[in-house]
Structure 1
């Protein structure tokens, strides 16, 4: 390949397939997690009000892992490439967690394995977003992210349907109290094979551009690694932000203690304080002229492009709704449609299996919609397209409040599938038009703050809301999801349509 090439060559459809195929296996694992972890927790003795706190492993690990992986993958180069070593390491660890989780005999073991699974999926998933930016020309970015969305949807269909399909094949979907059904157990084994095999496919069939070729494309390392010492105002900005976060965390913690609120909320207060301390530490390191990962991550965080900040607000609200969906759909469907709250009962497990079907429907719709949404975006712009899809999602969540027939539940899943496709595609199309190509890794990691922070909020706040206002009526969690999805759509009014954002 000519070292003086100034533009990345266009990828064939086979090339785009290979670049994103690993996401198929990742999403099989993610689909299994989303549709079955609440079921596993309840089978091991968790009550509905405690589910969100048990899910807290995911956002905590995502908050820590994604920006770190983004930071180091931007700086990695070796015989195995730049992003691929992270794909493969995460896939191996996720496969081990999938093998272990359905064999957990106590609740704490299942929670720890969820922590390991989510961290490993994050290690594999985060570089894949940057991988598209690395491997495709700007004119193909929408197609690249559409392929990712299609594989996300297809993989999640397989993961969500697996226990239901196992039951249809005669594998038992019930177990004694405290046990995990064989249909779930074997599905997790399938997921372990799938994530390792699919990621290995991408690793073996793609070759990343070496640093000198990236330099020819304008992705030089020197362009990316601007020193944090060059901005004299940066220490002051970090110090101010750190003090504000610590104050808010202390205020929240004091309020929780004074009014004897749910202890889950201490996690949120600790998150604010911890973030503030890290910002103060980064400020001190800059003053001492110490350059390291913490300094780079915090510096890039406070210097995010304005368009990214505005988009992050919509991202935050939309993912609040998604985490409510993933955590509470199983108890809602089991109680209101299958009329059971006993995790050991056949009716409950039939309901949990049907949730897998519902999730497979919305993911299947997303896989198909991924190639339709760019057409709409070219006509009305990516921000408006995303806003319309978010409003459809809000209406779909609201309909779950009144539907009591399992077949009719498929209808709102179509709307949620369209919303899910947009969430997985449009924000990244918009971001690709404003982010420097050299910063895809770190900024995709930072953008994921606004995916994992909502889960932390749901994990710490929703349990308290349930206990305080509707301890035996989890259906109202879907009303909360509808409200915040509407807020996400309103936030998109702040996002400008950028040139080439829907290319």
Structure 2
């Protein structure tokens, strides 16, 4: 059925994926600087993962529900996925703008909770949109183009506080106050988030359900919250075997990246730069630098995705082999952070991480979209996201703190050793995926 869909041009795929630029601005600012905000407001390093917990907990509930609802939404003017893009963008923009103005830890944690939940309201329908509009032969290409846009967003957003400092915006503030450079960066990110999603809404048309009468009958037969929750639960219990196998890969991958987002700033500012006083110029300059180095993984993911998009548009690729190799390289990148002595070498480490990031954002979704019913693409994309948020919840509830101390020792830089180990395990977990119909384009 999906092969009857016409192939789209690069620019058509670009337009329908452009909203990911804003989504990634939100994620990059969140991942690169929320721990800095938490530290500025007085959080202890070991308490940082717990402050992140509300976001994945909410995602565990929100994403399958949003996917389910978007599958059952159709409006001749507003489409199926686009209403969710819009409302997610509105609340994400508000939360992103106000997050650095928090005056207490509970306010910052609340802003992160709203931001992450709202971004996910927009993000999961974006994943489903690619599967909605593209034939199976273009799925890898479509998800890789999304990853290209994500890479651009990651690099620019991660460097925004540093750019603001270079333009003369103050990079220090009184104890317990977030510097203006971070506030300006989050404000710019809020503008980009909303405007880029609005661009996709205005430039992209959605396909109506293939059989409108059947669509309306199914929607009428499954009204009510109980019916919806039952169907979501039924889909979870009957998920395709490939989805379960990919779930193991996702578990290790996202545990690793949650570890990085939670601990990269305190670990690297302390281990590489020797800065721990959050109100000092040394710490804030180091934190800006960490953000820039984190931007490297976004920049490299952009170029890696560009190369993948070129290859995927011209020949078949082995999705499993690409994903396994990319994750293992990223794992070695994390581990190298522990051993380097010069800050510039972080570019090498995060370049390897960027290869893994590009693959994480494209290959699992390409493999999944080839194995599920197109009519249930939204709900399955939402359920699949549970394999992203569950490891983050476990990590936030003490999994990171226990594992890095138990396996490697008390120093916070050991979190990067943990992240690397987990990413290598994620790569090796691809060996369990044996279905050639989803692993080969």
* Match runs of 1:206-221 below 5 Å: 206-211=204-209, 214-215=210-211, 221=215
1:427-477, Cα deviation, whole Å (9 max, x unpaired): 111112211111110000000001011111111122345677888610111
- Whether the 8 Å CA contact 1:432–1:501 is kept in 2: the answer is no
Match of 1:37 among 34, 45, 60: 34
2:228 matches 1:293: yes
1:469–1:397: structure 2 CA closer, same or farther, 3 Å change rule? closer
Which secondary structure state, in structure 2, belongs to the residue aligned with residue 370 of structure 1?
Answer: helix
- Whether the 8 Å CA contact 2:334–2:416 is kept in 1: the answer is yes
Number of residue equivalences: 436
Cα offset for 1:383?
A: 0.9
Which secondary structure state, in structure 2, belongs to the residue aligned with residue 292 of structure 1?
Answer: helix
Which residue in the other structure is 1:458 paired with?
A: 395
Cα offset for 1:372?
A: 2.6
1:85-110, Cα deviation, whole Å (9 max, x unpaired): 00010111011111211111111111
Runs of 4+ in 1 over 4 A off after TM superposition: 222-228, 376-380, 464-472
Which residue in the other structure is 2:260 paired with?
A: 325
1:51-99, Cα deviation, whole Å (9 max, x unpaired): 0000112211111111110000000112311100000101110111112
Match of 2:54 among 52, 57, 78: 57
Which residue in the other structure is 2:360 paired with?
A: 423
What is the TM-score with the length of structure 2 in the denominator? 0.93
Cα offset for 1:404?
A: 2.4
Greater alpha carbon shift after TM alignment, 322-331 vs 291-300:
291-300
1:48–1:88: structure 2 CA closer, same or farther, 3 Å change rule? same
Q: Which has the larger radius of gyration?
A: 1
What is the TM-score with the length of structure 1 in the denominator? 0.82
1:471–1:38: structure 2 CA closer, same or farther, 3 Å change rule? farther
2:90 matches 1:153: no
1:6–1:321: structure 2 CA closer, same or farther, 3 Å change rule? closer
Cα offset for 1:330?
A: 0.3
Q: Which runs of 5+ in 1 are unaligned?
A: 229-288
Q: Which runs of 5+ in 2 are unaligned?
A: none
RMSD of Structure 2 on Structure 1 (CA): 2.5
Which residue in the other structure is 1:267 paired with?
A: none
1:390 and 1:458 mapped to 2: Cα distance? Answer: 19
* Match runs of 1:7-406 below 5 Å: 7-78=4-75, 79-211=77-209, 214-215=210-211, 221=215, 292-373=227-308, 375=311, 381-406=318-343
1:220 and 1:343 mapped to 2: Cα distance? Answer: 59
1:100-122, Cα deviation, whole Å (9 max, x unpaired): 11111111111111111111101
1:223–1:394: structure 2 CA closer, same or farther, 3 Å change rule? farther
1:230-258, Cα deviation, whole Å (9 max, x unpaired): xxxxxxxxxxxxxxxxxxxxxxxxxxxxx
2:339 and 2:255 mapped to 1: Cα distance? Answer: 21
